[in-house]
Structure 1
Amino acid sequence: MSAYVIDSALFRDQFSTAATRSIFSDEQTVQKWLDVEAALARVQARLGIIPQHAADEIQAKARVELIDLAELKQEMDRTSHPIVPLLRAMKKVCDGDTGEFIHWGATTQDIVDTGTVLQVKEALEQIESNYRRAHAHVIALAERHRDQTMAGRSHGQQALPITFGFKAAVWAAEIGRNLERLRQMKERVLVGQFSGAVGTLAALGGQGIEVQEALFKELDLACPEICWHVARDGMAELACVLAICTSTAGKIAHEVYSLQKTETAELEEPFTMGKVGSSTMPHKRNPPACEGIVAISRVVRSTVALGLEGMMAEHERDKIVLQTEREFISRLCCMADAAFAKLAYVTAGLTVRGNNMERNLSVQKGLLLSEAVMMKLGDHLGRQEAHELVYEICMDVFEQGGTFKDGLLANPTIARHLKPEDIDRMLDPQAYTGAAGLFVDRVVASHRGATT
């Protein structure tokens, strides 16, 4: 039985991926705790703190398949504690008295935090892989459609001509910055925790820092300057950065969603026979993948508040923090990965309808090029006076009908300064995309190598 979408057999693949679900499964959570305990024992044996034979036995038995998870769950409920029942279970499976040397000098939060960081590390590898796939597809779109003219829009209205390659290049540059954010974040997030009861490592005497440094070298994690039991800025940053990354995915998906509307029909997410858009309208070809990405991005953004709440920890230890993070970190990573996997799917198979883009350039009967006319006329009248004159002509076209060209040709002031052939040239959308192509070239050259 499941009560949440990530665990639902029906809905889980819409909100997560099998890879990230596996990383945060109960089995892998317990295994990561055991991995930390085993690494700690190995390090302490090398330093002469515990017997080598005890470390060898702990290493051999630190396998989740040797733990009865149903019994572990019962004991966790009975004790209201996550790690003590595990230590007792490990002691049972270890030979002789070797189980007495598990968890030497550690505290529960050391194991839980470091286990979580190990899970986050694996999840980020998966997340980044899918995001890079999407990045590569978007770069390819920008290059392929470098010169495909379409209407640029502002405030939901047609504004000036751009190219679809330019639009895709803006997406690519933003994803590239987000990949850099992910990279930079790791040095602050992928940090182990081994600090003892209140962070001073007092239980290990003079060897505490030596054990700590060796432990995180063993686990391939960064060593903290000082304990972060109640300094949760790293997990808050994880939430914020993944929210930024998924918001970019959501923005791109919503743009595809918007440009797939029937009246526009410039883009379409991948479609295969068998997909159904409606139980009652057989003709519908909806954008479900894009809708899913947008929905996930909203859920992930809402998680930022929980990440920041986790920073409000009290004194030297605060279990409320762990309870909060236990709920949102797995959800955050699972949903982010799902968003990026869906984005990679959409961008890999995106249909770009160039004919419809060109058709839509003439929807406003030439008004899309009002700036071009205004700037040319400004050479003769001054920019402000030219704006007023072109504005009046445009508004007349809106209200009375006709074309922008007809309105220009009928105006005596325009006729004194612009020839009909000049007006024809200025009303060519392909001739007024500015440096769009050069910006595409710049982005493609800058980002192509970053996708590998």
Structure 2
Amino acid sequence: MSSYVIDSALFRDQFGTQAMRDIFSDGNTVQKWLDVEAALARVQARLGIIPQAAADEIQHKARVELIDLQALKAEMDRTSHPIVPLLRAMKKACHGDAGEYIHWGATTQDIMDTGTVLQLRDALREIDSAMRVVLDKAAALAKTHRDTTMVARSHGQQALPITFGFKAAVWVAELRRNLLRLSQMRERVLVGQFSGAVGTLAALGDQGIEVQEGLFRELGLGAPEITWHVSRDGMAELACVLGICASTLGKIAHEIYTLQKTETAELEEPFSPGKVGSSTMPHKRNPPACETVVALSRIVRSTVPLALESMMAEHERDKIVLQTEREFVSRTCSMTHAAALKMVNVLDRLSVRTRNMERNLHIQNGLLLSEAVMMHLSDALGRQEAHEIVYRVCMEVFEQGGNLKDAILNEPELKGRISAQELDRVLDPHAYIGLSGVFVDRVLDLPVPAA
């Protein structure tokens, strides 16, 4: 049994993905630390700070397969330090005195923060890619069902007609904004950390800025204007943006979950023979994928307060916040990516039950079109007077039964105000979808933000 679901052989694919497990694995974490150390050595050799031969040897040996991870872990436990044991292991691996030039002018947090940012670059690339496919699938639904009329609901109750394409286009617009957020966030989050012990680069004298800028050019990261050792707003923004992305996915999943309920039955997540809904009720066709996405979105959102709390760092260095981030950064990325991939599958093979959508347009016997009736009568009666009369008629139909058409035609105050033929046109739900199609086209015509 695993102590946490992301690592569970049984449950890990519900709460994470292989791509994220690879990115945040121990082996890749150590490799990213070594990548930073190797890049630092290359830059410093070019600037004449350390010997070129030493940098070449560091580069050659900066491979995780040369590190005994079990021995490294034992030394981390013994020293209560993550990077010093790695530096000692690298010193042993390097020929001659090359190991003496590793980590020149750096501090532990520089290596670990930058390593994390390198992992986040890979993680965000995966998340962005998955979110783009979700958007594509939602856009395809919006286009296909541009004119598929269905019930719109407000406060959980039937409200007016819309089209399913309109509903999906709302998803598309939100997903597009999330891609824009992800893109804009990268500029602030994918920034390296190389500042020395307290952020002043004192150990490198007047070459500090040159080394810093060269290092981040080498790694393809942004260079900070000043240290962010205790400025964790970037990590907080990461959690907030991923929380928003996961919440969008969760909202879409919850909408499908709701519309899959037996009494509504307008949508259904993909079903294939062998998928079991219940160990005791053979008839059940549950929505487990959507339920999982909703759960994942809740968990990701729960990391946001923790990330904001981690901004409260002390003085010039504070390991408390780093330990906190170590717990939630990989988890947040893993669950967001898992939620996105699950929604790709759901939207790709979503069952849209148009017959049930049509059925549900009529279950209130015309009450769905009360606004249309009111607006039609407003020219003659005034809007407020029309509302009062139609409201009273609707409440009578709701409480006593019957249908809105007959009730309107039999209402004494409306005699001669509207004919049965006119009323049939007004009560046609397909004729009262407003600008649903126009809005679908408007959304689908907008460009997708660049990656």
Report TM bin, short chain: over 0.9
Instruction: State whether residues 192 and 224 of structure 2, in contact with CA within 8 Å, keep that contact through their aligned partners in structure 1.
Output: yes
C-alpha displacement of 1:451: 8.6
Q: Which whole-Å CA distance do the structure 2 matches of 1:309 and 1:451 have between them?
A: 32
What corresponds to 1:153 in structure 2? 153
Q: Which whole-Å CA distance do the structure 2 matches of 1:271 and 1:92 have between them?
A: 56
Q: Which whole-Å CA distance do the structure 2 matches of 1:68 and 1:451 have between them?
A: 41
Q: Amino acid of the residue matched to residue 96 of structure 1?
A: G
Q: Amino acid of the residue matched to residue 377 of structure 1?
A: L
Q: Which whole-Å CA distance do the structure 2 matches of 1:154 and 1:101 have between them?
A: 66
Instruction: State whether residues 105 and 201 of structure 1, in contact with CA within 8 Å, keep that contact through their aligned partners in structure 2.
Output: yes
**Structure 1 pair 433–330 and aligned structure 2 pair: CA distance change class (3 A):** same
Q: Amino acid of the residue matched to residue 446 of structure 2?
A: S
Q: Which whole-Å CA distance do the structure 2 matches of 1:128 and 1:268 have between them?
A: 26
Normalised to the residue count of structure 1, the TM-score between the two structures is 0.99
What corresponds to 1:325 in structure 2? 325
| 1:216 is aligned to 2:228 | no
Instruction: State whether residues 192 and 223 of structure 2, in contact with CA within 8 Å, keep that contact through their aligned partners in structure 1.
Output: yes
Q: SS where residue 446 of structure 2 aligns?
A: helix
C-alpha displacement of 1:255: 0.1
Q: SS where residue 285 of structure 1 aligns?
A: coil
Deviations 1:257-300, CA, capped at 9 Å, x for gaps? 00000000000001111111100001111001100000000000
| 1:144 is aligned to 2:144 | yes
What is the 5 A alignment of 1:248-327? 248-327=248-327
What corresponds to 1:45 in structure 2? 45
Q: SS where residue 159 of structure 1 aligns?
A: strand
What corresponds to 1:12 in structure 2? 12
C-alpha displacement of 1:450: 4.8
Deviations 1:156-202, CA, capped at 9 Å, x for gaps? 00000000000000000000001000000000000000000000000
| Count of residues in correspondence between the two structures | 451
% same residue: 73
What corresponds to 1:422 in structure 2? 422
What corresponds to 2:181 in structure 1? 181
What is the 5 A alignment of 1:20-99? 20-99=20-99
Q: Amino acid of the residue matched to residue 14 of structure 2?
A: Q
Instruction: State whether residues 136 and 451 of structure 1, in contact with CA within 8 Å, keep that contact through their aligned partners in structure 2.
Output: no
What corresponds to 2:245 in structure 1? 245
Q: Which whole-Å CA distance do the structure 2 matches of 1:399 and 1:4 have between them?
A: 53
Instruction: State whether residues 183 and 450 of structure 2, in contact with CA within 8 Å, keep that contact through their aligned partners in structure 1.
Output: no
C-alpha displacement of 1:412: 2.2
C-alpha displacement of 1:426: 0.4
Q: Amino acid of the residue matched to residue 249 of structure 2?
A: A
C-alpha displacement of 1:420: 1.0
Q: Which whole-Å CA distance do the structure 2 matches of 1:69 and 1:320 have between them?
A: 24
Instruction: State whether residues 180 and 449 of structure 2, in contact with CA within 8 Å, keep that contact through their aligned partners in structure 1.
Output: no
Deviations 1:93-114, CA, capped at 9 Å, x for gaps? 0001100000000000000000
What corresponds to 1:339 in structure 2? 339
Instruction: State whether residues 133 and 451 of structure 1, in contact with CA within 8 Å, keep that contact through their aligned partners in structure 2.
Output: no
Q: Amino acid of the residue matched to residue 19 of structure 2?
A: A
Q: SS where residue 417 of structure 1 aligns?
A: coil
C-alpha displacement of 1:428: 0.1
What corresponds to 1:397 in structure 2? 397
Deviations 1:331-382, CA, capped at 9 Å, x for gaps? 0000000010011111111110000000000010000000000011111111
Normalised to the residue count of structure 2, the TM-score between the two structures is 0.99
Q: Which whole-Å CA distance do the structure 2 matches of 1:2 and 1:215 have between them?
A: 39
Q: Which whole-Å CA distance do the structure 2 matches of 1:428 and 1:414 have between them?
A: 20
Deviations 1:408-440, CA, capped at 9 Å, x for gaps? 111122222111111000000000000000000
Q: Which whole-Å CA distance do the structure 1 matches of 2:57 and 2:378 have between them?
A: 85
| 1:446 is aligned to 2:446 | yes
Q: Amino acid of the residue matched to residue 276 of structure 1?
A: V
Q: Which whole-Å CA distance do the structure 1 matches of 2:262 and 2:318 have between them?
A: 53
Q: Which whole-Å CA distance do the structure 1 matches of 2:348 and 2:135 have between them?
A: 10
Q: Which whole-Å CA distance do the structure 2 matches of 1:26 and 1:309 have between them?
A: 26
